[in-house]
A and B are shown apart, each in its own frame.
Chain A
Amino acid sequence: KAGVTQTPRYLIKTRGQQVTLSCSPISGHRSVSWYQQTPGQGLQFLFEYFSETQRNKGNFPGRFSGRQFSNSRSEMNVSTLELGDSALYLCASSLVGHSYEQYFGPGTRLTVT
């Protein structure tokens, strides 16, 4: 089976712009979670989608949003980018839900200038 794929792998944006990141889960996985990883804050949970519904949400501002499509692919959007949004954004898919092991993609490295 193909693993979790994320596109693009690298992205450079300017402060104030918006960005959309994409994640394709492992075939058959219906849960997709997003994480932000930074040197200072570590791995922080953004949100989880299951069957096209946001089931869990972390403590991030409303500028961070996401959605999931009927084929379980997910997108994450960040509007009005700030310098502090520079991070590695990781997507993880899971067969059943959050309590089972998650399979991570390679991440999208976002740099905001």
Chain B
Amino acid sequence: AQSVTQLGSHVSVSEGALVLLRCNYSSSVPPYLFWYVQYPNQGLQLLLKYTTGATLVKGINGFEAEFKKSETSFHLTKPSAHMSDAAEYFCAVSDVSGNQFYFGTGTSLTVIP
């Protein structure tokens, strides 16, 4: 079975600083990888996804993530944090058969003015 580990349940950054949210997965076969964001009292919104092809994936709101097979990682980054980025972020993985979809436990991002 797949599993997803998000290191750091809470991350704080200053406004304008680099955002780095970590995600590692366990899989013997390259999976499909996703990052979602959840604002308070809302559902999840897709930020970006990796299925095949280019390992550096660009998403919405200036976020990007790089798939590193050798490290089984899919870390999310943004060069400059904005106050509106404060939210809960979830990494997710789906195996290529599409039979299961697994979420990490989430990372709460706080942006300090």
Q: Which of chain A's residues have a CB closer than 8 A to the CB of B43?
A: 4, 90, 92, 104-107
CA distance A105 to B103 in the complex (A): 16
Q: Are A102 and B42 in contact (CB under 8 A)?
A: no
Q: Which of chain B's residues have a CB closer than 8 A to the CB of A33?
A: 101
Q: Which of chain A's residues have a CB closer than 8 A to the CB of B46?
A: 101-103
CA distance A96 to B96 in the complex (A): 13
Chain B CB within 10 A, most for which of A33, A42, A90, A96: A42
Q: How far is the CB of A35 from chain B (nearest CB, A)?
A: 8
Instruction: Choose one: A42, A45, A105, A106; the contact of B101 (CB below 8 Å).
Output: A45
Q: Mark A18-54, 1 if CB is under 8 A from B, else 0.
A: 0000000000000001010000001101001000000
CA distance A96 to B94 in the complex (A): 13
Q: At the interface, yes or no: A67 with Cβ under 8 Å from chain B?
A: no
* CB under 8 Å from chain B, chain A span 70-113: 90, 92, 96-107
Q: Are A56 and B100 in contact (CB under 8 A)?
A: yes
Q: Are A99 and B96 in contact (CB under 8 A)?
A: yes
Q: Are B98 and A42 in contact (CB under 8 A)?
A: no
Q: Which of chain B's residues have a CB closer than 8 A to the CB of A43?
A: 90, 103, 106
Q: How far is the CB of A64 from chain B (nearest CB, A)?
A: 17
Q: Are A98 and B103 in contact (CB under 8 A)?
A: no
Q: Are B98 and A99 in contact (CB under 8 A)?
A: yes
Q: At the interface, yes or no: B105 with Cβ under 8 Å from chain A?
A: yes
Instruction: Choose one: B36, B45, B95, B105; the contact of A99 (CB below 8 Å).
Output: B95
Q: At the interface, yes or no: B49 with Cβ under 8 Å from chain A?
A: yes
18 contacts between A and B (CB under 8 A): A4-B43, A35-B103, A42-B103, A43-B90, A43-B103, A45-B102, A48-B101, A56-B99, A99-B96, A99-B97, A99-B98, A101-B34, A101-B46, A104-B43, A104-B44, A106-B43, A107-B42, A107-B43
